[in-house]
Structure 1
């Protein structure tokens, strides 16, 4: 006789979303029953140095955009074979693992495991499931997040629920097609970003010229000081409902404070502490972080931000969207940096008065608007692509929750 409690247990052993013709319950196994640790070591030029990333899994070190901190003597490095899973022992609790498509070596601080039988790509996705990552966190050893580590001994004790090999392969194949779909969206987005970058270079160097409605060229660009069309905004007041406290994030501009940026709970913040007010269309920069994208327009609206930022209102003689693109180009940032004072990072300052003395060749307001409209149309396509990527990633996240037990 099958009781209601038995049915409930059986339901817990079956995923919510399942392919047809698969009816068996999933079995619980410890990872030590499924994987063995690979202990081969050695170096040599025939092996690629591999890196494990949170987002992209295992890649060649040279293509990972990570600093190569490897030792010169790699004789003790761990060998990774095609089909192995390698993980960052100290970051497995964050999901730093991947299946290797390459033969290579990784740091001795990493762990390499080989699947005894089954579909290894199934485990690639299982190890990204939030519940599994939480279990990796629970089994990690160490007093603080800087020292937490998951060596094979404790990795082998983690219990997971798995289907038979055929269902594993079906799930992995489907999720790989989802990844390919997301990858195609990302490739298209990168193409649009590169296209915009190339067009901006051609427009601002006058390689491409716009014409008016009568097909006449616009007047020559005229050299002007920034003070001719920018006015410093230095209103320092406490935050308010009308001007909420916001962050100024690299390449994103004014945005709501997320967990990463909201540190108010760490300090005794005086309600009367003063911040700088900013409004929609303002131009903002951080003297310390120009090279990393802390420069651009306020596309949000009324906000209060840290007083370390320099804020300027763009007058009606210029199109703010044009200026938002024109004043963030690399050649202009390099020109700004010449005015930077201070000895070390954190003390650097480009005084607003020096900034306003910078001269630039500026087109007529009509041509500015024409250029801004053109670039805005590309931005709209990029925004659509970003939204599609976000939706696809959320869809995948939901699949990971429903296709696994």
Structure 2
């Protein structure tokens, strides 16, 4: 993914990074000189169905990373022919979001992947380009910080901000020759393809890990010893039999690093997670002291943690709110236990003891019931094999995630340097 481009002098209408076969300044144009922006059709909701001949594209079809995405069960299909046929989209058509929503920022770009399947509604704009501009070039241009800012600037409204075709057509852009546009588009497309491949690989590894863990901890998959013989049957022990609850208070107030338990990020600094201090730094005496390798249960439920997350503290010694339950294992395979708490194998028990008359966003569970949580206990040798296997999968996943992040940052840098 190395660019065969050269750094040029910082000139207003020349990009910082340029392919060596091109020179001269780019031309300043209004988007309206390059294309007409056309509103989508106001499709009638009573004709929407769970299936049908056409998918009505919405801002939800715009992938935040760029490109098209299916919405699965949220997809809206149109089953009537009661609409102008020029709203049927063709492969390669370029769309943008014209209404600000949680998904799909104003000015986001989408290239239609197939012909004849999609319609675009009134919240989207279609770019009908002329012979002076390539759709893909314009799509990549729209991902730059400059054009994102310009599109947002054209929007108005109080509760929901909107823009219009006329306002978009009035935005100024700098355009090179068609040959240079094509080379820039092809190069960025190769980077985008690599990002999509890595993103798909990461998704598949995540699904594989999740499936493998569920099968391992439900004992559908069993490991064998080095001689090919079966390991002993697993035991179930109560949490109180293999761990002790930590209730040491920060009475001297000498520990002031406040931790929090995030369902997606694990144990993290509260200040960094919330971008501010939530706890009163001068009065942490009632907080629990949490050592490295302690496990913490957070009763707050979410889509990613339907009974609340249990995470291992791998950060630093700190303190946590007494709303959390802190417990510590002695002489146990902590990695094995950490993988167990990543599964849903323990969720059924938690739901069986929860008091659902409490707050809807928290599990209400007594400490006594929580400490009866069944913990699987294979023999130490099988625990080691399970841990080694899942750690190898984790290493592949982390390496792929790092590659994906680097490719995304590489593309972001290119977008800022290849355009004026």
Structure 2 partner of 1:165 = 178
**Is 1:378 the equivalent of 2:393?**
yes
Question: Quick check: 2:39–2:124 contact (8 Å CA) kept in 1?
Answer: no
Select between 389-398 and 188-197 the one with higher mean Cα deviation. 188-197
Structure 1 partner of 2:156 = 141
Structure 1 partner of 2:121 = 107
Select between 155-164 and 382-391 the one with higher mean Cα deviation. 155-164
**What do residues 318-377 of structure 1 show as CA deviations (whole Å, max 9, x unaligned)?**
211111111332232132122221334234323332121122441123322231122112
3-state SS of 1:135 partner: helix
The offset of 1:298, in angstroms, is: 2.6
- Structure 1 residues 215-254: aligned runs within 5 Å: 215-237=228-250, 244-254=257-267
**Is 1:150 the equivalent of 2:163?**
yes
Structure 1 residues 49 and 173: alpha-carbon distance in aligned structure 2, compared to 1, 3 A threshold: same
Select between 71-80 and 156-165 the one with higher mean Cα deviation. 71-80
Question: Quick check: 1:54–1:95 contact (8 Å CA) kept in 2?
Answer: no
Distance 1:282 1:74 in 2: 62
3-state SS of 1:48 partner: strand
Structure 1 partner of 2:337 = 323
The offset of 1:163, in angstroms, is: 1.0
TM-score, structure 1 normalization: 0.83
Structure 2 partner of 1:85 = 94
Select between 374-383 and 272-281 the one with higher mean Cα deviation. 272-281
- Structure 1 residues 21-170: aligned runs within 5 Å: 21-39=21-39, 41=41, 45-51=52-58, 52-57=61-66, 59=68, 63-65=70-72, 67=74, 79=87, 81-82=89-90, 83-91=92-100, 96-102=108-114, 103=116, 104-117=118-131, 118-143=133-158, 146-170=159-183
Select between 105-114 and 221-230 the one with higher mean Cα deviation. 105-114
Question: Quick check: 1:279–1:302 contact (8 Å CA) kept in 2?
Answer: yes
Distance 2:105 2:303 in 1: 32
Distance 1:215 1:174 in 2: 52
**Is 1:398 the equivalent of 2:405?**
no
Structure 1 residues 283 and 14: alpha-carbon distance in aligned structure 2, compared to 1, 3 A threshold: same
**Is 1:272 the equivalent of 2:283?**
yes
3-state SS of 1:55 partner: coil
Question: Quick check: 1:90–1:148 contact (8 Å CA) kept in 2?
Answer: yes
3-state SS of 2:186 partner: helix
Distance 1:259 1:31 in 2: 41
Structure 1 residues 308 and 31: alpha-carbon distance in aligned structure 2, compared to 1, 3 A threshold: farther
3-state SS of 2:160 partner: coil
- Structure 1 residues 156-235: aligned runs within 5 Å: 156-213=169-226, 215-235=228-248
Unaligned runs of 5+ in 1: 1-7
Distance 1:276 1:76 in 2: 63
Structure 2 partner of 1:3 = none
Question: Quick check: 1:90–1:149 contact (8 Å CA) kept in 2?
Answer: yes
Distance 2:207 2:185 in 1: 32
3-state SS of 1:326 partner: helix
Unaligned runs of 5+ in 2: 1-7
Question: Quick check: 1:239–1:304 contact (8 Å CA) kept in 2?
Answer: no
Structure 1 residues 256 and 168: alpha-carbon distance in aligned structure 2, compared to 1, 3 A threshold: farther
Distance 1:129 1:171 in 2: 13
Select between 291-300 and 332-341 the one with higher mean Cα deviation. 291-300
Select between 182-191 and 115-124 the one with higher mean Cα deviation. 182-191
3-state SS of 2:342 partner: coil
Structure 2 partner of 1:5 = none
The size of the alignment, in residue pairs, is 391
Distance 1:305 1:18 in 2: 52
